[in-house]
Structure 1
């Protein structure tokens, strides 16, 4: 079994701890560090975990929020189980084969 790694992106939480609730608050602060991103790019950076992040942007965020990279990004192992939907449509129960039961096959008369 291969290990799979994932991460938690804590930018929004760290911003809230510093009473920064508008994503646009970051635009001028990033510019002070020489990182020029559009409002849309900053919005995505705050609301979605980035798949790629430049070191300049990471360093600027750490400087703005007075935190470390480990505070922004928490790496964790992802354990995935195969699951199937329940009768109500919820996913959560691991896929399990139904119990075997004996059946009687009845053939129509005349065959």
Structure 2
């Protein structure tokens, strides 16, 4: 995801992270200077939905305004065409039209029995 916090903040006339932090505090969200710095400087690794809700309320925007998908990055994370899975070579969509291998459930054949 592409993180657009600084762009959305600038659209609202917020140019400094300290100002954004004060606005969040006024809305009831107290966050550390370090956390605000990480949000301001780049894409946060994690964010609580409660924090995102307050952030959107303060900036008068939606989560989709703050985040933009990056499909090229997702495609780069996909496994190579042939990898070993459970000791077997599996084709992950390279020769079968991009369709993932079929996974069959193990009904009636549990891996182990629970302790007595």
Q: Which runs of 5+ in 2 are unaligned?
A: 77-116
- How many residue pairs match? The answer is 75
What residue in structure 2 maps to residue 103 of structure 1? none
Residue in structure 2 matched with residue 4 of structure 1 by the alignment: none
Shift of 1:40: 2.3
Distance 2:27 2:15 in 1: 20
Bigger Rg, structure 1 or 2? 1
Query: Where is the helix percentage greater, Structure 1 or Structure 2?
Result: 2
Higher strand proportion (structure 1 or 2): 1
Distance 1:56 1:30 in 2: 12
1:43 CA drift (Å): 1.4
Gaps of 5+ in 1: 1-6, 81-111
Please give the alpha-carbon distance, in whole angstroms, between the structure 2 residues aligned to 1:11 and 1:60: 13
| 1:67 match | 61
Q: Normalized against structure 1, the TM-score is what?
A: 0.61
- Structure with the bigger RCO (C-alpha within 8 Å, sep 6+) is 1
RMSD, aligned CA: 1.7
Residue of structure 2 aligned with 1:10, choices 4, 25, 42: 4
